[in-house]
Structure 1
């Protein structure tokens, strides 16, 4: 009877030791996974910013007035938002942006800025 208790206690100790080791490995791998995700998010943000900047530079180089244009990039999808002075600038901005490498899709949401006096009397 005493031998059965000793074997039972030894078995229990082995199970506890194995559980602690398994738990430790799981938390280490979770920490590594979290670090990888943080790096990935940072890399994605940098890539989005770089694409947005390349599109803005291409628009300026092509003679499009970028003063009222916001270039939003997310995972290769680019949106042109804001306003320009005439309709020809909308079409030109769209075609120039489509030609920038790294763009997977493009949405042109530019509008024509109506000039005029905005002050009230």
Structure 2
């Protein structure tokens, strides 16, 4: 009898812990959606394009050949995708992108361009 009662109490405690965790996650996503609710989709797209352009210009000014690089921005998160000719440019491009105002994170997916491509 005591074992059954102990299992019931342990199960109840587990349910309480799981529900508190789920409740905390739900409130975070609600806060995030409320924050973006005030801006229109076109304004968000315009801001993302402007940030992409700003990062591409910074890369070009920093001596990176941007002809094979795509810069994608979404809410401050920037992704660098494409190819560069020199392996040292991969790290350099990432550090330049991190230094641009408005950039919150950088995902560097650049690769080295093989000869003849």
TM-score range, shorter chain: 0.5 to 0.7
SS at match of 2:40: helix
How far is 1:104 from its partner? 1.1
Q: Counterpart of 1:33?
A: none
1:91-106 equivalences under 5 Å are: 91-106=91-106
Q: TM-score normalised to the size of structure 1?
A: 0.63
Please give the alpha-carbon distance, in whole angstroms, between the structure 2 residues aligned to 1:104 and 1:43.
Answer: 18
Please give the alpha-carbon distance, in whole angstroms, between the structure 1 residues aligned to 2:79 and 2:66.
Answer: 14
Q: Counterpart of 1:23?
A: none
How far is 1:86 from its partner? 1.1
Task: Provide structure 1 residue ranges, at least 5 long, that are not aligned to the other structure.
Answer: 1-36
Q: Counterpart of 1:80?
A: 80
Q: TM-score normalised to the size of structure 2?
A: 0.66
SS at match of 2:102: coil
1:1-121 equivalences under 5 Å are: 40-116=40-116
Task: Provide structure 2 residue ranges, at least 5 long, that are not aligned to the other structure.
Answer: 1-36
Please give the alpha-carbon distance, in whole angstroms, between the structure 2 residues aligned to 1:88 and 1:105.
Answer: 20
> Structure 1 residue runs of 4+, over 6 Å off?
none
SS at match of 1:73: strand
SS at match of 2:60: helix
Please give the alpha-carbon distance, in whole angstroms, between the structure 2 residues aligned to 1:43 and 1:64.
Answer: 29
Q: Counterpart of 1:7?
A: none
Q: Which structure: larger Rg?
A: 1
SS at match of 1:55: helix
How far is 1:111 from its partner? 0.1
How far is 1:61 from its partner? 0.4
